[in-house]
Amino acid sequence: MALFHVNESDFEEKVLNNSKTVLVDFYATWCGPCKMLAPVLEELADEDDSFDIAKIDTDECPGLAMQYQVSAIPSLMVFKNGSVQAKTMGFMQLDDIRDFVASVD
The residue annotated as part of the active site, out of 22, 34, 41, 101, is 34
Q: Active site includes 31? A: yes
Q: Which amino acid is present at 14?
A: K
Q: Active site includes 34? A: yes
Q: Which of 9, 31, 13 is nearest to 79 (CA)?
A: 13
The correct answer on CATH 2.30.30.90 for the domain covering 3-98 is no
Cα separation of 13 and 71, whole Å? 24
The predicted model scores a pTM of 0.95
Q: pLDDT tens digits for the chain (105 residues)?
A: 599 999 999 999 999 999 999 999 999 999 999 999 999 999 999 988 899 999 999 999 999 999 999 999 999 999 999 999 999 999 999 999 999 999 997
The residue annotated as part of the active site, out of 31, 76, 77, 97, is 31
3-state secondary structure of 93: coil
Q: Who's near 9: CB < 8 A, 6+ residues apart? A: none
Measured CA to CA in angstroms, residue 20 lies from 69, 90, 101 at distances of: 23, 24, 12
The full set of domain ranges for the chain reads 3-98
